[in-house]
Amino acid sequence: MIRTLLSLGDRSGARPIRTNLISLVIESVLAGIGYACMVPASEHILSGRPQDAWPWIVAVAVLFACYSVVRYRAQLAAYRAAIGLAEQLFRRLGDKVSALPLGWFSDPRRVGELSQLSSRGIVDVMGVPAHLLRPVVASVVTPVTLLVAMFLFDWRLALVALVGLPLVAVVGRWAGRLVARLDRVQKTATTAAAGRVVEFAQAQATLRAAGRTASGHRQLEKALAEQSAAQRSTTVIAAPALLSTNLVIQLLLVALLATGAQLALGGELGTAELVALLVLGVRLVEPLMTAVENGAALRMAGNAMARYQEILATAELPAPHATPAGEGPVEPSVELREVTFGYGGEPVLRNVSLVARPGTMTALVGPSGSGKTTVLRLIARFWDVDEGTVSIGGRDVRQLTTEELMRHIALVFQDVYLFDGTIEENIRMSRPEASEEELREAAELARVTEVVDRLPDGWRTRVGEGGAALSGGERQRISIARALLKDAPIVLLDEATAALDAANDAAVVAAFDSLRADRTLVVVAHRLPTVRSADQIVVLDGGRVVEEGSHEQLFRHGGRYRVFWEERTRSVGWRLTSPTPGE
């Protein structure tokens, strides 16, 4: 645990933790010697020779005075270590988050975990140096010191303690591991149940529309049943495990008592000596009991530390520290050359090659799961390709810094995230230094102005967390305004699949048209007018490029694209008003 703790902070953070540890060891040794000195002191008092007890009483007083000073210093070092550790963990986590592949965040559980770790988790970890190291160190150092002292007073009682202490350690360790495992199972079940509750709430409209509220309930009930089963088994197994540790500790005390009584009966130990040694025995088991009592907090901190370690150990995307002058992209073109990529398993893109020339629009079309969104993610370097290259303006994206790459690219994805701020703040984030005029112009082109005019607080309207106060179409318009304001030469756009109402649809199309002017667009296109107006259409199927060309060429060719077009035309009831070539 201590090694894990040291690995979480940086070098400057390790010093107060080490100082704290050393102080805790000295403090526990002083306490142990102090208790040991009480044995001859009590023995003298109980045998009616109080005057002989004085030197021991003075020794105890001096030891406890030293103990208080060391403890004060240890406590200061403990708080310093806890605060330093929290600062370093926040910083390391922040650095890590900005260096992790963007794809890492596509799993919503990860984001939930990050939020949990930076709130509750950090408090748990801070608790280790602040409060938990003391009982842990004391549970080892104090009993060992007292054991040595016991050997000096009576080797037979010391022998009983010597046999008992490792037994306590073994049972305590076994119980701790068992309960930690149960805790993990329970936490997983609780997270799954919480996820089901959220999913159930979010899916209400869909479930009701499909008349499946009952089966939706069943899944939730199953998750809740699993959670209570996990909770029950934790209670049923954990309680006896923890009790067994307590029992072994009490048994050690009873064994000391029985041995002492036996020795006293045999006349080998005076009553006063026996009483004094038994007091020492009680002191010996006390820190062990305290360590058991702190077990739950220790396990929670242990779990949080393990999760931190896991995130901090996640591989980052290798990136150069700086792009050498004159080696940035030379033009706003995009090229994928023989790209193969998989999300850890089977490849979802195989040998994909395509070129998007400057100032043109490339539409990616194909069945669901064919890899269209993945192509956009690879251009923005959410992940690195397994084989082949992705380049922007003739430069491999792996040779560009994240800042350089992002300077050239604007992303307009379907799941637009808006910060819980005003509409203005949300647009401005793409270029904070933009003038008021530029901001208003971008908003006007993206048809955000008409949304703003409708809202009671206008530009100062808060959009709610994730943009909850706005409709899907309105959120996408804000995202387009961001891209317009950023004015990056390459735009990657994942067109909304969700059907928008007529007014929103018209506004998004108009906003989209403003975005097209003078930019290189790569679009996952779902709307037929978008597909048709593209300079180049790339048809993907099963992760491969199966056709490529303009609408007219592909339509005339009569292959996969024509089937796609005719199916879509039928499904949306769309009619071509003028004959298309090939018809």
Ligand X SMILES: Nc1ncnc2c1ncn2[C@@H]1O[C@H](COP(=O)(O)OP(=O)(O)OP(=O)(O)O)[C@@H](O)[C@H]1O
Q: Which residues bind ligand X (CB under 6 A)?
A: 106, 343, 348, 366, 368-374, 524
What is the C-alpha to C-alpha distance for residues 392 and 332, in angstroms, rounded to an integer?
7
**How far is it, in rounded angstroms, from Cα 77 to Cα 279?**
31
User: Within its chain, how far is the Cα of 537 from the centroid?
Assistant: 39
Strand order in the sheet with 387-392: 347-356, 334-342, 387-392, 395-396
Q: Rank residues 141 and 500 by Cβ distance to ligand X and give the closer one.
A: 500
Q: Which residues pair with 462 in a beta bridge?
A: 422
Residue 108 Cβ vs ligand X, minimum distance, rounded to whole Å: 11
Tell me the CB-side half-sphere exposure of residue 437, using CA atoms within 13 A. Answer: 0
Question: Cβ of residue 402: shortest distance to ligand X, in angstroms?
Answer: 19
For residues 334 and 355, the answer to whether their CB atoms sit within 8 Å is: yes
Nearer to ligand X, 95 or 567 (CB): 567
Asked if residues 520 and 357 have their Cβ atoms less than 8 Å apart, the reply is yes
Would you say 365 or 448 has its CB closer to ligand X? 365
**Strand 409-412 and strand 395-396: pairing?**
unpaired
| Sign of the torsion formed by the C-alpha atoms of 35, 37, 39 and 45 | negative
Nearest-angstrom CA–CA distance, 497 and 525: 9
Backbone angles phi, psi at 558, to 5 degrees: 70, 25
Least distance in angstroms from the C-beta of 348 to ligand X: 4
CB of 340 to ligand X, least distance (A): 13
Q: Which is nearer to ligand X, 369 or 558 (CB)?
A: 369
Q: How far is the CB of 479 from ligand X (least distance, A)?
A: 17
Nearer to ligand X, 294 or 374 (CB): 374
In the bound complex, what is the minimum distance in angstroms from residue 395's beta carbon to ligand X? 24
In 3D space, the residue among 311, 321, 383 whose CA is nearest the CA of residue 114 turns out to be: 311
Query: Which residue, 103 or 466, has its beta carbon nearer to ligand X?
Result: 103
Amino acid (one-letter) located at 103: G
Indicate the residue type of 345: G
DSSP structure string for 475-532:
HHHHHHHHHHHHT-SEEEEE---SPPPHHHHHHHHHHHHHHHTTSEEEEE--SHHHHH
Helix, strand or coil, per DSSP, at residue 473: helix
Nearer to ligand X, 245 or 374 (CB): 374
Indicate the residue among 327 and 548 with the shorter CB distance to ligand X: 548
Q: Please report where in the chains the tokens 């809740």 appear, as a residue.
A: 224
Least Å from the CB of residue 67 to ligand X: 56
Q: Are strands 361-365 and 544-549 parallel, antiparallel or unpaired?
A: unpaired
Give the nearer residue to ligand X in terms of CB position, either 348 or 400.
Answer: 348
Least gap, CB of 349 to ligand X (angstroms): 8
Q: Report which DSSP code applies to 397.
A: G
State in angstroms the smallest separation of the CB of 199 from ligand X: 18
The nearest distance, CB 367 to ligand X, in angstroms, is 7
Q: Specify the 3-state DSSP secondary structure of 347.
A: strand
For 297-346, the DSSP string reads HHHHHHHHHHHHHHHHTSPPPP--SSPPTT-S-SSS-EEEEEEEEESSSS
Nearer to ligand X among residue 125 and residue 361 (C-beta): 361
> Which residues does 531 contact at the CB level (< 8 Å), separation at least 6?
363, 365, 525, 537, 551, 565
Q: How far is the CB of 420 from ligand X (least distance, A)?
A: 26
Query: 343 or 417: whose CB is closer to ligand X?
Result: 343
Closer Cβ to ligand X, 246 or 370, answer by number: 370
Q: Considering the complex, what minimum distance in angstroms separates the CB of residue 377 from ligand X?
A: 7
